[in-house]
Amino acid sequence: MMKEINFFLAALLCAVFGFTACQQTPQHADNKPDMQQRPAYAIAIHGGAGTLSRAIMTPEKEAAYRTALDSALLIGETVLKNGGTSLDAVEKTIVFLEDCPLFNAGRGAVFTHEGKNELDASIMDGSNQKAGAVGGVSIIKNPIRLARAVMDKSPHVMLVGRGAEQFALENQIDTIDPKWFFTEERWQTLQEMLAEEKKNGKTGSLDPALRDYKFGTVGCVALDNQGHLAAGTSTGGMTNKRWNRLGDSPVIGAGTYASDDACAVSCTGHGEFFIRYAVAHDVWALMSYKGLSLAEAAEFVVNKKLVEKGAEGGLIAVDKAGNISLPFNSEGMYRGYAKPGERKVLIYKE
Ligand code: ASP
């Protein structure tokens, strides 16, 4: 009889504690985020980081930036709300930002030393780690579209210059007269830098003392309702660049990275550093190999590692659970994010 009671008690305890254990999230849950926890979508954008001091910003200019960022967010958000993919949201949002002359991407791109616009872009699909990138193109209206075509329609990841433009012509990607990219403000910035170079007798195009610290690259990261992540970045590079210089924006792992198992990242800042420290991939690696949260990983890379190396810039990132992180170590970063019931556009450290 005693034996039977003990057995009954043991069974009862197992049932109670076994059930309770099942209620808790296992320590090593599989990589798919909990469907209950994850928002239906999440999206973040940036329009570059740098010296965005309030002193040189007029109220009209600030309002124009905020409106443009808000419209860009709305484009991506609409795609995601309607069940579209994160990849489409990223591409469409960046196309809008490329067409907006306020940003250093597409129309509004900065000028090279020779007074031309050379555009770079990349996109990555976190669901299969496919990626496409283009560098140094000067007749492509929307370089992000070409990057997507490289990913979808070629066996390659990165095409540059004339070859990339040839590929665009063969794949019905819109080309345009390079005059389209001209803006007076960017032209004047180049003239100022050239005059400064002359005065100083220096010709190093990206000499820190002469560099233009107002960036303006654009990027977008998104999580869709299928749990897929995507990232994209587009830029005119840095004012006064020479010798077909490429920055981090078209380099997968440096300026752009996405993998469904952790996060999607798009960077902006002094590209040479972002390439050398594989910044976008570094955020992913800290999450994946060290188990850091998105915020911990992104903060560490931008506000510790890059600061120690003397690199200015920032990044936007979203993880598989829909968390968003937007760290930067410069004075400001044009940025915004949206999730169901949440939406914000920011410029300074607010
Ligand atoms: N990262 C870009 C580059 O170095 C510049 C920027 O983000 O504004 O080309």
Percentage of the chain lying above the pLDDT 90 cut: 79
Nearest atom of ligand 1 to the alpha carbon of 274:
1
Q: Which one from 85, 217, 233, 268 is the annotated catalytic residue? A: 217
Rounded CA separation 70/62 (Å):
12
Answer whether residue 22 shows pLDDT above 60. Answer: no
Answer whether residue 14 shows pLDDT above 50. Answer: no
CB 33 within 8 Å of CB 323: no
Least confident of 96-110, 186-200, 233-247, 299-313: 186-200
Answer whether residue 258 shows pLDDT above 80. Answer: yes
Sequence ranges of the domains in the chain: 42-348
Of 137, 189, 239, 249, the one to substitute when testing ligand 1's pocket (max ligand atoms within 8 A of C-beta) is 249
Structure confidence at residue 213 (pLDDT): 59
Give the residue-averaged pLDDT of 210-217. Answer: 68
Nearest atom of ligand 1 to the alpha carbon of 255:
1
Answer whether residue 222 shows pLDDT above 80. Answer: yes
Rounded CA separation 181/116 (Å):
9
Residues with beta carbon inside 6 Å of ligand 1? 48, 104, 215-217, 235, 237-238, 247-249, 268-271
Tokens at 194, concatenated: 């050239």
**CATH of range 42-348; options 3.40.470.10, 3.40.190.10, 3.40.50.720, 3.60.20.30:** 3.60.20.30
Answer whether residue 204 shows pLDDT above 70. Answer: no
Q: How far is the CA of 19 from the centre of ligand 1 (A)?
A: 53
Whether 175 is catalytic is no
Of 98, 248, 331, the one to substitute when testing ligand 1's pocket (max ligand atoms within 8 A of C-beta) is 248
Rounded CA separation 16/26 (Å):
17
pLDDT in tens, 129-162: 999 999 999 999 999 999 999 999 999 999 999 9
Nearest CA to ligand 1 atom 7: 268
Answer whether residue 196 shows pLDDT above 70. Answer: yes
Answer whether residue 6 shows pLDDT above 90. Answer: no
CB 336 within 8 Å of CB 72: yes
Rounded CA separation 247/267 (Å):
11
Give residue for tokens 């303006």: 216
Q: How far is the CA of 10 from the centre of ligand 1 (A)?
A: 64
Nearest atom of ligand 1 to the alpha carbon of 245:
9
- Neighbouring CB atoms inside 10 A of 160's CB total 17
Nearest CA to ligand 1 atom 8: 215
pTM passes above 0.75: yes
